[in-house]
Amino acid sequence: MRHLFLQYPLLHFLLLDLRWTAVVLVIVVFGGLTILSMQKIWVRTPPGFRPVVRVSTLDLAQAWSLRRTAEHAEKTGDKQSALEALIGAVAQDSANVSLLRSCLHAAARNENLEGQSAARILAQIPWLLRLTQTNETDLHIATQLLRKYHRWVEIEELLRPRLEHLNPEEQIDHVAALFWLGRIDDFARAWEKLPYSLQDDPALRICHFAYMAAWGPPEKAAEGRRLLTAALDDPVHATLAHRANLIVSAALLDPAGYEKSLRRLEESRAARIADAKGYWRLLANTGRKEEARLLAENYLFPPTTPWEVLDQASAYIDLGMDDFACRFMRRYVPEFGCSPAGWSVSMWITYGELLTELRRWDELLDMTLMVRRIPEALLVLRGYISFLEGRALLAQGAAEPAARCFEYASHQDFPTPEIALKVGITLLQLGYPEHARAILIKLEDELANDVRLWQALLEVTVMLRNDSVEFYKAAQHAYKLAPNDATCINNYAAALLINRWQPDEAINLTRDLLAREPKLLQARINHAFSLAQTRRFHEARHVLATIDPSGLCEPDRTSYYLASAEINSGLSLHDEAIADIRMIDRKHLFPNQREWLEKLQKQLKQQPAQRGSAATE
């Protein structure tokens, strides 16, 4: 033992000197607690909520400390420091509803909140509303903040699902949002339904003056212009009136009137990039596009918020300044796109769509790398970015890596159902129906009333040819949403015939469609098919005889010969039916059609052949 202590002196101290033993134990315990405190083990989101937010003990301690700092700053009247401390606290404990509410209330009380700071605060609104399932109190502070920064898009989106339950202030906000978003017809209808007591709101009255001046009854136009002109000189509401006059001048194609109000807004430091963008667009619409492009190119004021980046970039794109827009977005999108908020997401999507349209695949791949370095943006854009990466790789000839990207994207969420629909349709066009189906099938509830979804799903089933019932489901929904569309009518009839359901209904559909469009060959084939399924073989043969199959595309030629085989079999023209079957390309058939065809083929082999003359009338 003595030799062991000589070889390991530290062991000697630990075993024989309690002071050293205590020191080592303290170090071990402290290190263990430190490591444990850094592990994100505490779930802060409600059960079933996605994504799950976990924080560490250290995060909670820092959030608590920052909240105490904010409370102290608030008591001393330092609103800015209080807000900054709360923003820091939310960053440490992002799913703490109480912290989020305190942060939004502090922002509403802060008069100096602008630029990126305002964007960071507003980005918390949808997150809070998701956590609290749109609590009434939270909705009130959300609309108050959004109104302060003229975010009418978000106000309308928040209030639209609750139109029957809006309080008076929310009703005013909703009607105002319709006007500022340019939805003039909706504004007029909402104004008529608004109680007279709410129509007296000064800001809303200015919106109505503008409506009368440009879109109301002709006999009210002069009065509307007079009232709006008077409001321009009102010191309290002049800014709002000038902004309304911008919209009126744009509607009346009056660049001089627009420029006058724009200059007044610039003098009062109230002009926004969106106002300048409106002027450039107006100049372009009145034949002064080169002047508009020159003004846009020499615009001196850099963006201060994500939505300003989006407004300015979209203005360049509208004016055909795609190269300029690319340079602008490459400069500002990474700086302002560090948030999961809708405007940040829209920036990345606009940038990606522009690069795709210009076929700048290397830049597009660079853009996807930028997003992957921003966890907050990647949280929302993971699926879309994988799709863009695959799109660029496919264009560069790397088909296998592209397919892996599409496969990964098909199992991710997308920022909005609309974006997911666009991606699904694009994958379909690129020849990836399996991945398109995986994305589109998840949209059936959210986009149930969008005919584009069902048309895309129908196209998926046509390309895959693996489920006739799914084809019927998509065709039926599309037909219900667009009952007068020729393609939807014909596809629904085809779905009935493929599944051999309700042939009488298919006859009615195709007969009415042919009365409208007698040259539609697909409808003629389906009409002959439906007559054959109701055993009206002679009529069916007469219809089919009007078509030359040599001019048809492969899928339509297969349908032609499938119908002809049934007709000739029904007329006991077995040789002709067998010849028809030889012309059928089975890859264009659904499984139930192939099964029916095999049964027919067996029957024809078992029955004696008859000549065509024996079956004629």
Q: Residue 135: what pLDDT?
A: 78
| Any domain includes 180 | no
Q: What single DSSP character describes residue 301?
A: P
Are 582 and 597 in contact, with CB atoms under 8 Å apart?
A: no
Spans of the chain below 50 pLDDT? 4-6, 609-617
The count of other CB atoms within 10 Å of the CB of residue 223 is 14
Q: Residue 182: what pLDDT?
A: 93
**Average pLDDT of the chain, as a whole number:** 89
- E strand intervals along 350-438: none
Q: For position 570, which CATH number holds? A: 1.25.40.10
Q: For every residue of 190-203, which 3-state class applies, written as one string?
A: HHHHCCHHHHCCHH
Q: Residue 484: what pLDDT?
A: 94
Query: Smallest Cα–Cα separation from 208: which of 220, 189, 190, 224?
Result: 224
| Any domain includes 67 | no
| Any domain includes 418 | no
Whole-angstrom Cα distance, residue 584 to residue 565? 9
Query: Smallest Cα–Cα separation from 119: which of 332, 345, 341, 349?
Result: 341
Instruction: Count CA atoms closer than 13 A to 429's CA, side-chain side.
Output: 7
Q: Residue 10: what pLDDT?
A: 57
| Any domain includes 610 | yes
| Any domain includes 565 | yes
Structural domain boundaries, residue 22: 2-37
| Any domain includes 435 | no
Q: What share of the chain is helix, strand, coil (3-state, %, to 5)?
A: 75, 0, 25
The count of other CB atoms within 10 Å of the CB of residue 112 is 9
| Any domain includes 77 | no
Count of domains observed in the chain: 2
Angle of CA points 214, 220, 223, to nearest 5°: 90
Q: What single DSSP character describes residue 410?
A: T
| Any domain includes 170 | no
Torsion of CA 305, 311, 317, 318, to 10 degrees: -170
Q: Residue 204: what pLDDT?
A: 95
Are 309 and 336 in contact, with CB atoms under 8 Å apart?
A: yes
Angle of CA points 280, 285, 290, to nearest 5°: 55
What is the pTM for the complete model shown?
0.80
Whole-angstrom Cα distance, residue 74 to residue 66? 12
